[in-house]
Structure 1
């Protein structure tokens, strides 16, 4: 049983040049490998977004719906976000 399927795709010239350049530089053996790697990266990104939605966004919405008056004001939320971004930037240094 085959585990692959041959496809024909059309890319904008800029992307086609990028794919060919990756192969010519020796990082990949074929154009198919470049496309597969890109699709794996897209798959991983989608998985990260899905985990974020399930683990962070969903529970936050549920908590808000359970007690909307306990929500933070826009200024308070922005202040928390700014503080977190500053702390993350300090950690990265």
Structure 2
């Protein structure tokens, strides 16, 4: 029975050491993560700002494109009406000459 207790105590000590080692590694990990986050946060913020600015520019360009497309449609319609008027005038002029 003493062997069982000694084995249990031995494994409990190993588990305790493993838990302490794991906690130390976690603390080290979080310290390093905090250092990295502190170092790269300004760069990340700058890149995010650039992306936001580019998205805003893209939205402005898309709005301009939509506006230009509407203007082009309107101009095409106007041009077709004017072509019809010119053709009708030419027909009227040719009929008078005949």
Common topology (TM > 0.5): no
**Bigger radius of gyration among the two:** 2
With structure 1 as the length reference, what TM-score do the two structures score? 0.40
TM-score, normalising length: structure 2 = 0.38
Higher helix share: 2
Task: Point out which structure has higher relative CO (alpha carbons under 8 A, 6+ apart).
Answer: 1
